[in-house]
Amino acid sequence: MQANIALGLGNNIDYEIVWNSKVIEALITRYAIRADELSADRRNHERT
Sequence-separated (6 or more) residues with CB below 8 Å from residue 6: 13, 15, 16, 17
Residue type, 45: H
3-state secondary structure (DSSP) of residue 36: helix
What confidence score (pLDDT) does residue 5 get? 64
Instruction: Give the model confidence (pLDDT) of 3-30 as tens digits.
Output: 666 655 566 666 677 788 999 999 999 9
Q: Is the pLDDT of residue 1 over 70?
A: no
The pTM (predicted TM-score) of the whole model is 0.47
DSSP character for 32? T
What confidence score (pLDDT) does residue 39 get? 78
